[in-house]
């Protein structure tokens, strides 16, 4: 089914949209099947699970960490991760800067914004202290800030989801203008999951993070490390 799901989803991807196949909790065999079907970008939420999968799967996979960043766990993936989506505090930005410098890398990151109505979703807001007039991407030479990431409210109200995605796009555009002139890499808009990636693409998403629509429903009781 994975191969069929992928080809169905790939057929609907807009121009300039990349698919992050979210494989958290799924076995490596499932990732191998998606890989054989041509998928190269995979998203994982749990640091040690990401470390373990990276160790046994093909080298040319681009691993995106889409979970909540925990500074102590950066060591498990900082050496190889292609992009970290969920950077949601200055502390994390500084901790990633230090870890990346130590690893001798420049690591791609996205700033996570709070756009949903739920209280529980992590993220910056535009009036956070970090976005004062002194903010500069040059303060983090081992972090390449490539754009923003967000999650819409988990709701059947598709108009609400659309408004939240528009808000996120607006944040990206405002930040690009304020702080990232001369930084064309600040362009990514990571939004859209299995149930809302169609809306996200209509609103300008460049990275959709799709899990269950590719791999089927997740069974959390099978994993122990989160
Ligand atoms: C799990 C997860 C996804 C994928 O969710 P699906 O509904 O299975 O597509 C996308 N983004 C983040 C941040 C996630 O944690």
Predicted confidence at residue 132, as pLDDT, reads 79
According to the model, what pLDDT value does residue 43 have?
A: 98
Give me the sign of the Cα torsion angle 137, 142, 145, 151: negative
Q: Ligand 1: which atom is nearest the Cα of residue 22? A: 4
Question: Quick check: CB of 25 below 6 Å from ligand 1?
Answer: no
The reported pTM is 0.94
pLDDT at 225 over 60: no
* 99 vs 115: CA distance, rounded Å: 28
Q: How far is the CA of 131 from the centre of ligand 1 (A)?
A: 27
Among the listed ranges 2-16, 91-105, 116-130, which one has the minimum average pLDDT value?
116-130
Q: Which of 94, 44, 103 is nearest to 68 (CA)?
A: 44
Cβ contact 218:177 at 8 Å: no
C-alpha 23 to ligand 1 mean position (Å) = 9
CA of 33 to the centre of ligand 1 (A): 19
Asked whether 69 lines ligand 1 (CB < 6 A), one says no
pLDDT digits (tens, 9 = 90+) for 32-66: 999 999 999 999 999 999 999 999 999 999 999 99
**Res 144: pLDDT:** 98
Q: Which tens digit of pLDDT belongs to each residue from 128-169?
A: 878 877 888 889 999 999 999 999 999 999 999 999 999 999
147 lines ligand 1 (CB under 6 A): no
Distance between Cα 184 and ligand 1 center (Å) = 27
Q: CA nearest 215: which of 55, 30, 68?
A: 30
Q: What is the pLDDT of residue 121?
A: 66
pLDDT at 128: 84
3-state secondary structure (DSSP) of residue 146: strand
Question: Running DSSP on this structure, what letter comes out for residue 124?
Answer: B
Q: Give 126's pLDDT tier (boundaries 50, 70, 90).
A: confident
Above 90 in pLDDT, residue 221? Answer: no
Sorting pLDDT into bands at 50, 70 and 90, what band is 122? Answer: confident
Overall average pLDDT of the 99-115 stretch: 97
């Amino acid at each position: 089914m994975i191969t069929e799901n992928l080809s169905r989803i790939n057929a609907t991807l807009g121009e300039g949209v990349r698919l992050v196949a979210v494989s958290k909790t799924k076995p490596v065999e499932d990732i191998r099947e998606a890989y054989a079907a041509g998928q190269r970008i995979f998203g994982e939420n749990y640091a040690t699970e990401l470390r373990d999968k990276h160790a046994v799967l093909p080298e040319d996979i681009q691993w995106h960490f889409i979970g909540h960043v925990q500074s102590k766990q950066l060591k498990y993936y900082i050496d190889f991760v292609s992009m970290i989506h969920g950077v949601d505090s200055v502390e994390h930005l500084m901790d990633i800067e230090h870890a990346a410098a130590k690893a001798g890398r420049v690591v791609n990151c996205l700033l996570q914004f709070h756009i949903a109505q739920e209280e529980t979703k992590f993220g910056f807001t535009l009036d956070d202290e970090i976005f004062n007039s002194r903010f500069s991407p040059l303060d983090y030479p081992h972090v390449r800030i490539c754009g923003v990431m967000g999650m819409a409210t988990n709701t059947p109200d598709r108009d609400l989801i659309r408004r939240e995605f528009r808000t996120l796009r607006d944040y990206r555009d405002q930040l690009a203008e304020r702080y990232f002139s001369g930084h064309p890499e600040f362009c990514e808009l990571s939004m859209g999951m299995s149930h809302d990636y169609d809306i996200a693409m209509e609103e300008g998403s460049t990275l959709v993070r799709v899990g269950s629509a590719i791999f089927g429903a997740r069974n959390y009781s099978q994993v122990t490390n989160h």
